[in-house]
A = this chain, B = another copy of it.
Amino acid sequence: MIKIENSRELYESYREHMRRLADVRAALALMQWDQETYLPAKGAGFRARQVATLSEMAHELATDGKLGSLLESLEQAPGLSDTEKKNVTLNREDFEKQKKYPPAFVRKMSETVSRSFNAWNLAKKENRFSIFEKDLAELVDLKKEETELLGYRDHPYDALMDEFEKGCTVQLTDRIFGNMLPRLQVILEKIRQAKEPEDSFLFKSFDKKKQWDFGMQVIAELGFDFEAGRQDLSSHPFSTSFNKYDVRITTRIDENDFSSMLFSCIHETGHALYEQGLPESEYGLPSGEFASLGIHESQSRLWENHVGRSRDFWKFHYPLAAAKFPDAFEGIPEETFYRAINKVNPSLIRTESDELTYHFHVVIRYEIEKMLIKGELKSCDIPACWNERYKKWLGVDVPDDQRGCLQDVHWSHGSFGYFPTYSLGSFYAAQFFAAANKSDQQLQEKMGKGDTTDLLQWLRQRVHAPGRIYNSEELCKYATGETLNVQYFLDYLLDKYGKIYEF
């Protein structure tokens, strides 16, 4: 029988162990951030082994017998708060899961990922899939091995999705997409028959330095704390967090595309605001971690689309943009600009696609991944499969691999099972945004004055504060009163595009 005073001591030992693990993971995250921002070209080889060594050390800490005993004792310990109990339960699950990975597997995965990332980078630069293919095939084999290590009930891909979105399965995802895609196709068909918005002014010349400055201004306005984070350049925009006081985002700038950088800035800011909103005292514990990747993505999507691509947001920001880029925007009315940034356009690049066709991009990747992991598709056949599906779903011809299957960094990171969370994120975002507006009907009016403080406040309280104490579905219910209901997303699309395309 454990005494209450011993409970506290045990909990503190466990907490310090988890904080140490978070420290090592933060070092790893810094090495990865650096790899994508500032690492000199020749440094990649040694960096790969450095990351592998730290990954192994993190794994040792995560599977340390001492931690196992602490967790076991704490499960019996009296006097813990509900949050503390939940932390123990969740970390016990993580512990059991981590123990399924042999250390040699962890090291091999880490080294293969580092090498693959470099191969992908080169392949993309040289526009040749074959440069990446061998490493990718090796990664897929490792991921298959991983599904066997982790175990699964129905489909091996379930084991991989579960890492990013607990409880998410092929069965569930197939059902959601099976329900959603035909309805998106109906909307897309209506849009195809409507008049296309004029948007050529978005592709004039926009000075890179001015784009950077405008992006930084918007990020700051949305509440990103630059004393607790920074933005840098990288080839693929991403966000990473070492703790709530050091959250980093990256972007890329295309001189001939106004939207490309700006919406990626807002998107990554959404991720960052979530991380900056996690409770400091819970560093290293589930109660201080994000809930799931789907929920993470809901935050980036909410800010990017429901805020950044909204009519109200541009009431305030369009005059600023027009003043900054008079050559491009002179004589362009606000309404024309708003329609242009929301133009639906089946296209090649996922990260630059509109809110509707985006989900076709996701489904294509999801289907390919399922086949790869099940062994129904070989890595070398990806480009053909990719191109065939882009033609089928989006009606576009993929001219080369750079704009085809080499466009995303994810596979080179070994992140299979990740893409579906992007769609889930959009669906959660719509539901969260609807709930926030229901609770404060002035939110959109305030947005029209450049003030998103109360929206952030609502998200901080309803979505950020609980950390990982609730899983996605519990959190959704806590925040909105009901579990995921994709109707919010469909209603949002119908309303938005109905007005823009007048159907």
Q: Which 5 pairs show the lowest CB-CB distances between chains A and B?
A: A43-B246, A23-B53, A42-B245, A46-B243, A23-B50
Checking B40, B53, B232 against A229 with a beta-carbon cut-off of 8 angstroms, the contacting residue is: B40
Contact B54 A23 (CB under 8 A): yes
Nearest-CB residue, chain B, relative to A45: B245
Contact B246 A24 (CB under 8 A): no
Report A53 CB to chain B, min CB distance, Å: 4
Given contacts A227-B40, A245-B46, A246-B39, contact A30 B34 (CB under 8 A): yes
What sequence of 0s and 1s flags, for each residue 101-130 of chain A, a beta carbon within 8 Å of any chain B beta carbon?
A: 000000000000000000000000000000
- In the assembled complex, the Cα of A42 lies from the Cα of B34 at a distance in Å of 19
Report A360 CB to chain B, min CB distance, Å: 38
Given contacts A20-B53, A23-B50, contact A43 B226 (CB under 8 A): no
- In the assembled complex, the Cα of A26 lies from the Cα of B51 at a distance in Å of 10
- In the assembled complex, the Cα of A225 lies from the Cα of B40 at a distance in Å of 10
- In the assembled complex, the Cα of A341 lies from the Cα of B283 at a distance in Å of 52
Contact B225 A43 (CB under 8 A): no
Contact A54 B40 (CB under 8 A): no
- Measured as residues with beta carbon below 8 angstroms from the partner, the interface class of chain A is 35 or more
- In the assembled complex, the Cα of A262 lies from the Cα of B275 at a distance in Å of 40
Q: Which residues of chain A (10-34) have a CB below 8 Å from chain B?
A: 19-20, 23-24, 26-28, 30-31, 34
What sequence of 0s and 1s flags, for each residue 230-268 of chain A, a beta carbon within 8 Å of any chain B beta carbon?
A: 101000000000110110000000000000000000000
- In the assembled complex, the Cα of A41 lies from the Cα of B31 at a distance in Å of 19
What residues on B are CB-neighbors of A34 within 8 Å? Answer: 30, 34
Q: Give me 21 A-to-B residue pairs in the complex whose CB atoms sit less than 8 angstroms apart, sorted by A's number.
A: A19-B49, A23-B49, A23-B54, A24-B54, A24-B57, A27-B30, A30-B30, A30-B31, A38-B232, A39-B246, A40-B226, A40-B229, A40-B246, A41-B227, A42-B225, A42-B245, A42-B246, A43-B245, A45-B245, A46-B245, A46-B283
What residues on B are CB-neighbors of A99 within 8 Å? Answer: none
What residues on B are CB-neighbors of A43 within 8 Å? Answer: 228, 242-243, 245-246
- In the assembled complex, the Cα of A54 lies from the Cα of B61 at a distance in Å of 12
What residues on B are CB-neighbors of A30 within 8 Å? Answer: 27, 30-31, 34
- In the assembled complex, the Cα of A53 lies from the Cα of B54 at a distance in Å of 12
Nearest-CB residue, chain B, relative to A243: B46
Given contacts A40-B227, A40-B230, A40-B245, contact A46 B31 (CB under 8 A): no
A8: interface (CB < 8 Å): no
In the complex, the count of this chain's copies comes to 2
Nearest-CB residue, chain B, relative to A33: B34
A47: interface (CB < 8 Å): yes
- In the assembled complex, the Cα of A175 lies from the Cα of B228 at a distance in Å of 50
- In the assembled complex, the Cα of A42 lies from the Cα of B26 at a distance in Å of 15
| Besides A38-B230, A41-B227, A46-B246, 19 new A-B residue pairs in contact (Cβ under 8 A), listed by A number | A20-B53, A23-B50, A23-B52, A23-B54, A27-B27, A27-B28, A30-B31, A39-B246, A40-B228, A40-B246, A41-B228, A42-B227, A42-B228, A42-B245, A42-B246, A43-B243, A45-B245, A46-B243, A46-B283
- In the assembled complex, the Cα of A215 lies from the Cα of B51 at a distance in Å of 32
- In the assembled complex, the Cα of A230 lies from the Cα of B245 at a distance in Å of 26
Report A26 CB to chain B, min CB distance, Å: 5
What residues on B are CB-neighbors of A54 within 8 Å? Answer: 23-24, 27
What residues on B are CB-neighbors of A31 within 8 Å? Answer: 27, 30
Report A27 CB to chain B, min CB distance, Å: 5
Contact B40 A26 (CB under 8 A): no
Report A114 CB to chain B, min CB distance, Å: 12
Nearest-CB residue, chain B, relative to A38: B230
Report A401 CB to chain B, min CB distance, Å: 25
What residues on B are CB-neighbors of A228 within 8 Å? Answer: 40-43
Contact B24 A53 (CB under 8 A): yes
